[in-house]
Chains A and B, each alone.
Chain A
Amino acid sequence: MADNILEIRHLRKSFGTHEVLRDIDFDVKKGDVISIIGASGSGKSTLLRCVNLLETPTSGDILYHGENVTGKSVNAAKYRSHVGMVFQSFNLFNNMTVLKNCMVGQMKVLGRSKAEAEQQAMRYLEKVGMAPYVNAKPRQLSGGQKQRVAIARALAMDPEVLLFDEPTSALDPEMVGEVLSVMQDLAHEGMTMLVVTHEMAFARDVSRRVVFMHEGVILEQGSPASLFGDPQCQQTKDFLSRFRNS
């Protein structure tokens, strides 16, 4: 238990009378690469947004290194600085250059010096292949480029876990590859990642564990080989067969 970074216990989330998440339980260990798959509307994104406290869970606990972060006296901002997030719609700061985007959080939140922040930002921008674009504004970049900058921005904060909320769903098909390859590199380097995705190839080849969600509950989870090779539930079989046929 000691190496669990996140433990999610009996998590529930309702929007009005509509219950989106129903009793979710799972752990994230250091170095885990977990893909969360499932049909649209099954609660995958809501789960991820709850983990980052962008949505307030209706009930249940989220433990970060054994410490409950859903309580009232918790500093949500501080917790979020340890848990990076990459969004479907990139959410880069439109008023800043690529470099500033990757520096502002380090300087304001972590209190790093300008030189240190710049060095760190450049390191990760180089890693995602966006170093030549440091002076560009987000509006001048393509979708794939924006998403790579967003990944660098999250990495520059030295997070313990990175959450990806459908990082390639808003991209043109030819840009999906560049983002996935960056994510694959990260996985191989031992980054702890939680990825909501519709890219079955990524879930199968890169992740260590695959979680299948259906109507707000985790129906099935396991290694990619077992979940894709020998799904137990009928819903999982149906979902996967739709992807195979398309």
Chain B
Amino acid sequence: MDKLAKLMQDIGILWEKYRMMYLNGMLNTLGLALAATAIGCIIGLLCGILNTIPCAKNDPLPKRILLKILRVIIRIYVEVFRGTPMMLQAVFIFYALPYFTDNALRFDNIWAASILIVSINTGAYMAESVRGGIISIDPGQTEGAKAIGMTHFQTMTSVILPQAIRNILPQIGNNYIINVKDTSVMFIIGFTEFFASHRYIVGINNKYFPSAVIEMAGYLAMTLIASGVLRLVEKLMDGSDSYELVQEDPLTMTAGTYSHPKRGSNFDERSKEYGGEREGR
């Protein structure tokens, strides 16, 4: 028990002293994760649209070659950035520029470099999620849009992607939460996110475990809030199940426009049906 009390005391001391540093770290982590997930989603959506441009046998040859090249490029991008550790990608991109230009050019802005790296990484995952989302939409939706004369781009932006995005929203949430945690590897290029705060603080005073407890609680709080918000967004996107009938002229009331009483109420025919059956027995 006295160990627990000691732990609480240590946490209290750390929080008292380094509160601003922890909070600043959390803020940076959230900002990076949010920006990178958003940009990653855009990259993923673009890849999705480009990947699904229809290509028929009788299309002109240059178009077919161009599409083929495009698909190969996207495939390479996805496989490379999905298949290598983000920490290495960060080192790779961050140090490649000064290496090739003899230090003439380098990333002065750590924020920009971090967002770039995490976005590219997220985009590679999102490209596959978006592809899955697009496949999941009934081909009839595409045909319906084509039949009224929409182009591929119009079909994608107004019909397919809105439905696909709804379907991959849980996946976007996954990616965001992964980003909140995995941006911790950005300390390698000197980005001061939440985990970097921890490294700095324990470097000064050796209170490893109490600081780790704060980190754990902090990360959990950030991800829990994110899942909550995402579920809310999903609900909002689904919209309400009820809708208003617009009755302009009461004489036009036709069969089928009868609004049903609440389920389970005395006037509900559905419940009566079952009730009747039971009485009959």
Contact = CB atoms under 8 A, between A and B. Distances in A.
Interface of A: 52, 54, 56, 72, 77-82, 84-85, 87, 89-95, 97, 104-105, 108-109, 129, 131-137, 140, 142, 145, 150, 153-154, 157
A-side binding surface: helix, strand, loop or mixed? loop
A47 B246 CA distance: 39
Nearest to A86: B147
B265 interface: no
A77 B151 contact: yes
Contacts of B166: 95
A104 B143 contact: no
A81 B241 contact: no
A85 B148 CA distance: 7
Contacts, number: 96
Contacts of B143: 54, 87, 91
B140 A91 contact: yes
B277 interface: no
Contact of A54 (B146, B159, B248): B146
A104 B245 contact: no
A93 B58 contact: no
A113 B239 CA distance: 26
B9 interface: no
Nearest to A79: B149
Contacts of B241: 140
B246 A135 contact: yes
A132 B247 contact: yes
A132 B246 contact: yes
B148 A80 contact: yes
B273 interface: no
B206 interface: no
B141 A77 contact: no
A15 to B, nearest CB: 13
A130 to B, nearest CB: 10
B117 to A, nearest CB: 34
Q: Nearest 8 pairs between A and B by C-beta?
A: A81-B149, A91-B144, A105-B148, A85-B147, A91-B140, A109-B149, A132-B245, A80-B149
A153 B163 contact: no
Contacts of A97: 243
Given A56-B58, A89-B140, A80 B147 contact: yes
B256 interface: yes
A134 B246 contact: yes
Interface in B39-60: 56-60
A9 B60 CA distance: 23
A132 B259 CA distance: 12
B146 A135 contact: no
Given A132-B247, A135-B243, A157 B163 contact: no
A78 B149 contact: yes
Contacts of A89: 140
B27 interface: no
